[in-house]
Amino acid sequence: QQQVKQSPQSLIVQKGGISIINCAYENTAFDYFPWYQQFPGKGPALLIAIRPDVSEKKEGRFTISFNKSAKQFSLHIMDSQPGDSATYFCAAIHNQAGTALIFGKGTTLSVSS
């Protein structure tokens, strides 16, 4: 019930391409879904987040697509750049009852120049 499954584990994209990372959740009580970006030796940085009452949210080159019926959400990185090379984590939380972010296992993105 608490699991968040993330795929793929690793991803290689050419510069200028689109990076797509997918996540699926089980607990229908989750009501906030953030994505974090983490560089080696650093803490995770909040990238973008969505609530289940919208199907898409875009901030610059980053877009979250959300499918409530399928219990899936994904991160799209448009025009991927070498500086985007990092590990990306999806997460979920039941804001009203829970205090803990439940994280996926992460996707290591490498953008080749």
Partner 1 sequence: DAGVTQSPTHLIKTRGQQVTLRCSPISGHKSVSWYQQVLGQGPQFIFQYYEKEERGRGNFPDRFSARQFPNYSSELNVNALLLGDSALYLCASSLGTNRPEQFFGPGTRLTVL
Beta pairing class for 86-92 and 102-103: antiparallel
Candidates 1, 43, 53, 69; binder of partner 1 (CB under 8 A) is 43
Q: Name the segment binding partner 1 (CB under 8 A); options: 11-19, 65-73, 74-82, 95-103.
A: 95-103
Q: Does 64 contact partner 1 by CB under 8 A?
A: no
Are 80 and 107 within 8 A, CB to CB?
no
DSSP assignment of 53-108, as one string?
A: T-SEEEETTEEEEEETTTTEEEEEESS--GGG-EEEEEEEB-TTT---PEE---EE
Q: Considering only residues 4-23, where is the footprint of partner 1 by CB under 8 A?
A: 6
Q: Name the segment binding partner 1 (CB under 8 A); options: 45-53, 54-62, 65-73, 76-84.
A: 45-53
The number of residues that bind partner 1 (CB under 8 A) is 25
For partner 1, the binding residues (CB under 8 A) are 6, 32, 34, 36, 41-46, 49, 89, 91, 93, 95-96, 98-106
